[in-house]
């Protein structure tokens, strides 16, 4: 392990195996690349000199449990690029929960680390900026989609000092970063958001950003780095499967048959069958009429709703792992075996597999940190279920699976995307006895926009800047398709709909 101590954007000391080694007095990014060449099989840590006594060396092997991890910790109150980056990016990687390990490309120069092999993969591919913080954020932003797993990690430090190390960057740096790492249209939206919501006229930063090109990398740069996590996440290997179902008798039977052919069989399959007709009975006769190589726990309820059904099923899980399945999925016989192998390889406690509809082509071929979570295509370490549940405020709406994924991230667990093995989602027709739920806002004179459940998700998990940025893009999106073309009249109408959505989202917050 090589530790680089720095101050005032310059290297002041380098240690290898707790012994000082010679170094050139060059800027930190250049020093990191030179060190990576000489110590290509080592973990490289950077640390501000003021944090030297707080660096928790005993946790480093646990943090970097395989070689495709980059992690840091910023103990200041604001990110390197300021909160305004939220106007541009709506992913879960912006609102960082500071007291747990949290997935994000927002890196800090205060303390962090990466394996030398990652730096060598980018040698000559990324500019060695004089600003160390900019270099780290740029590297992580570019490498995350290519499979580098990036985290905010409080375990770096034994104690959090009071002194704030990392200074906020100005608008010039923000606009430059957006121009170099996002589609060109985002600098225009950033300019407009800053003017509308912060009364800032950022015309000069906008103009200067036009002189920068967008940075791109080959997504296969990190493919040669082998991954084998040292974390032990599978002991027994037992797994339960949960399936909520309503009116899809034939499709569910096909799912059970696919499960019965697994090379790694589930221990138990928990089926929650719903039928809102109060005098109805189960239609799933094959559960008892046929022989299955696993136990089937069949629960029949008159209460419709996927959130309730999944919560009921999760309460019945007693295996080491759980597969969140759906009643119209199809998959190969090696799904469970290969997915658990992937989880072992990456030390992943939660995964969401590629989930295409019929004839849908895969766009992402690398294992990476998912900005989504699928309630019909995910594997979870069952010990995590004590921390999460499907929030009932999302019942009969959209966003319950995304909210569930955010609960996992906020508890300190990452969600990894596995391109293989895939699970095909048939998107089967709804069952004949489904009833359309009566939504509380259905008869309102002013209809909420967006849907209150979508607004609920934003309120729970997005920064104020992300919500405002979403509001502006939503305005433009709907302006093109609605009949009122007078922008002032439409803005007035849109504001009323937005306020109505906020009202109902707050009502849904406390729904049990």
Domain boundaries, the chain: 2-159+167-209, 239-425, 452-509
Q: Strand runs (DSSP E) across 408-448, as ranges?
A: 416-418, 424-425
Round to whole Å and give the CA distance between 105 and 137. 6
pLDDT at site 8: 87
Q: Coil, strand or helix: which one is 171?
A: helix
Q: Coil, strand or helix: which one is 258?
A: helix
Catalogue the long-range contacts made by 31-34 (C-beta closer than 8 Å, 24 or more residues apart): 31/4, 32/4, 32/119, 33/119, 33/120, 33/123, 33/128
Residue among 27, 229, 13 nearest 115 (CA): 229
Cβ 284 vs Cβ 271: under 8 Å: yes
Options 1.10.3730.10, 3.90.550.10, 3.30.930.10, 3.30.1300.10; CATH for 239-425 is 3.90.550.10
Cβ 394 vs Cβ 453: under 8 Å: yes
Round to whole Å and give the CA distance between 356 and 334. 17
Q: What is the pTM of this model?
A: 0.95
pLDDT at site 292: 98
Round to whole Å and give the CA distance between 21 and 38. 12
Locus of tokens 């000489």? 38
pLDDT at site 96: 97
Give me the DSSP letters along 181-203.
Answer: HS-THHHHHHHHHHHHHH----H
pLDDT at site 254: 98
pLDDT at site 172: 97
Element (H, E) at 46: strand 43-48
Round to whole Å and give the CA distance between 354 and 257. 21
Q: pLDDT by residue for the chain (512 residues), tens digit each? A: 999 999 988 999 999 988 999 887 788 999 999 999 999 999 999 999 999 999 999 999 999 999 999 999 998 888 999 999 999 999 999 999 999 999 999 999 999 999 999 999 999 999 888 899 999 999 999 999 999 999 999 999 998 776 555 566 899 999 999 999 999 999 999 999 999 999 999 999 999 999 999 999 999 999 999 999 999 999 999 999 999 999 999 999 999 999 999 999 999 999 999 999 999 999 999 999 999 999 999 999 999 999 999 999 999 999 999 999 999 999 999 999 999 999 999 999 999 999 999 999 999 999 999 999 999 999 999 999 999 999 999 999 999 999 999 999 999 999 999 999 999 999 998 754 566 788 999 999 999 999 999 999 999 999 999 999 999 999 999 888 888 889 899 999 999 999 999 999 999 998 76
Task: Let me know how long the chain is.
Answer: 512
């Amino acid at each position: 392990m090589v530790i680089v101590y720095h101050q005032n954007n310059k290297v002041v000391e380098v240690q290898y195996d707790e012994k000082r080694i010679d170094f050139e007095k060059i800027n930190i990014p250049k020093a990191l690349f030179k060190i990576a060449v000489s110590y290509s099989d080592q973990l490289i840590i950077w640390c501000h000199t003021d944090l030297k006594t707080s660096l928790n060396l005993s946790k480093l092997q646990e943090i970097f449990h395989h070689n495709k991890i980059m992690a840091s910790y910023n103990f200041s109150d604001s990110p390197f690029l300021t909160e305004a980056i939220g106007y541009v990016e709506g992913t879960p990687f912006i609102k960082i929960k500071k007291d747990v390990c949290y997935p994000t490309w927002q890196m800090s120069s205060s303390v962090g680390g990466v394996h030398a092999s990652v730096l060598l993969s980018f040698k000559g591919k990324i500019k060695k900026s004089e600003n160390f913080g900019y270099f780290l954020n740029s590297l992580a932003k570019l490498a995350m989609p290519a499979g580098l797993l990036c985290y905010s990690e409080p375990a770096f430090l034994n104690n959090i000092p009071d002194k704030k190390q990392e200074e906020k960057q100005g608008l010039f740096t923000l606009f430059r970063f957006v121009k170099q790492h996002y589609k060109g249209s985002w600098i225009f939206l950033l300019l407009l958001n800053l003017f509308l919501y912060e009364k800032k006229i950022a015309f000069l930063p906008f103009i200067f950003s036009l002189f920068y090109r967008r940075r791109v990398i080959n997504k296969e740069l990190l493919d040669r780095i082998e991954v084998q996590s040292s974390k032990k996440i599978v002991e027994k290997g037992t797994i339960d499967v949960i399936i909520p179902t309503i009116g899809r008798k034939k499709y569910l039977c096909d799912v059970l048959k696919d499960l019965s052919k697994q090379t790694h069989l589930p221990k138990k399959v928990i089926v929650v069958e719903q039928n809102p007709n109060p005098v109805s009975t189960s239609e799933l006769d094959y559960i008892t009429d046929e022989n299955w190589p696993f136990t089937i726990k069949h629960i029949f309820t008159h209460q419709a709703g996927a959130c309730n059904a999944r919560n009921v099923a999760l309460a019945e899980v007693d295996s080491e792992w759980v597969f969140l399945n759906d009643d119209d999925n199809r998959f190969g016989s090696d799904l469970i075996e290969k997915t658990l192998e992937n989880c072992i390889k990456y030390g992943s406690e939660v995964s969401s597999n590629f989930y295409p509809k019929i004839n849908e082509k895969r766009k992402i071929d690398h294992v990476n940190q998912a900005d989504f979570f699928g309630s019909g295509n995910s594997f979870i370490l069952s010990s995590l279920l004590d921390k999460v549940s499907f929030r009932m405020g999302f019942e009969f709406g959209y966003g319950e699976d995304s909210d569930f994924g955010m609960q996992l991230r906020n508890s300190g667990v990452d969600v990894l995307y596995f391109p293989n093995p895939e699970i095909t989602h048939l998107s089967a027709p709804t069952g004949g006895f489904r009833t359309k739920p009566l939504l509380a806002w259905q008869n309102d004179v002013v209809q909420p926009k967006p849907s209150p459940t979508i607004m609920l998700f934003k309120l729970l998990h997005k920064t104020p800047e992300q919500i405002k940025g979403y509001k502006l893009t939503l305005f433009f999106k709907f302006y093109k398709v609605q009949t009122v073309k007078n922008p002032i009249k439409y803005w007035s109408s849109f504001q009323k709909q937005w306020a109505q959505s906020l009202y109902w989202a707050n009502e849904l917050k406390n729904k049990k």
